[in-house]
Structure 1
Amino acid sequence: MTADDFKRIALSLPGAEAAQHMGSPDFRVGGRIFATLAHLNLGYGNLMLDPQHQQDFLAEAPDLFLPVKGAWGLKGATHIRLAAANEAVLTGALQAAWKLRLARNKGTPRPKPSSNHG
């Protein structure tokens, strides 16, 4: 799979939008990130999972998934090796990240910007 495949699948999910964070493409639902291409230079797409889902993906396909280094990885952020993935796996992984973000969005509404400008 390629970055274009990652983008196509991510944007096919209901309510998904493309944006950028720190100069890298990301994909959001409800204004919050569920996936990024921040490590595309290493051949990875990134999924914003939780630690349990991350462990499930790592156990099922350790040749495709690995934790993002550092604190983000400990919180569930997970790389997927794009060149090794197929359409079904990439779609399932992006759907999982999207569903988790939807569930988290319901529990933590995004704060509204302050209207006080002065």
Structure 2
Amino acid sequence: MKPEDVRRLARALPEVVEGAHSGHPDFRVWGRIFATLWVEEERVVLRLSRAQQAEWIEAEPDRFEAIEGAWGRRGWTNLNLWEADEDALLAALLAAWREVAPADEDRI
């Protein structure tokens, strides 16, 4: 997958706005970041639950890895785009979106 695939899939989720921080594009729902795109490194950093993070890293260690330090302990997880297919990328973006979207937001 490529960075433009991240943009296309993330923007298709409800209420998503593309922003930027620290020089990287990010994707937000209701002002909360759920994914940050590292274009040059061809990876996306996702806000997952700790349980999801552990499951996905165990199941697919070539695709997923926890961010080092406190961010990783809070669920922030790397997804290497060159290892991902569209189904995996969409599932990860959706999981991250659900992690930060308000509970009353329409769930997909």
- Compute the TM-score of the two structures, normalised by the length of structure 2: 0.90
Q: How does 1:1-118 map to 2 (within 5 A)?
A: 1-37=1-37, 39-102=38-101, 105-106=102-103
Runs of 4+ more than 3 Å apart: none
Larger radius of gyration: 1
Code of the aligned partner of 1:71: A
Cα offset, 1:33, TM superposition: 0.3
Gaps of 5+ in 1: 108-118
For these two proteins, the number of residue pairs brought into alignment is 104
Code of the aligned partner of 1:62: P
Code of the aligned partner of 1:19: G
Structure that is richer in helix per residue:
1
Paired with 2:41 and 2:19, the residues of 1 have a C-alpha distance of 20
Deviations 1:80-105 (A, max 9, x none): 01011000000000000001111xx3
Gaps of 5+ in 2: none
Paired with 1:2 and 1:68, the residues of 2 have a C-alpha distance of 20
- Root-mean-square deviation (CA, aligned residues, Å) is 1.4
Identity across matched positions, percent:
39
Paired with 1:55 and 1:8, the residues of 2 have a C-alpha distance of 26
Paired with 1:87 and 1:106, the residues of 2 have a C-alpha distance of 26
Paired with 1:23 and 1:81, the residues of 2 have a C-alpha distance of 19
Cα offset, 1:106, TM superposition: 4.0
Paired with 1:19 and 1:56, the residues of 2 have a C-alpha distance of 29
Deviations 1:5-58 (A, max 9, x none): 011100000111100112210000011100001x33333111011211100111
Task: Give the secondary-structure state (helix, strand or coil) at the position aligned to 1:28.
Answer: strand
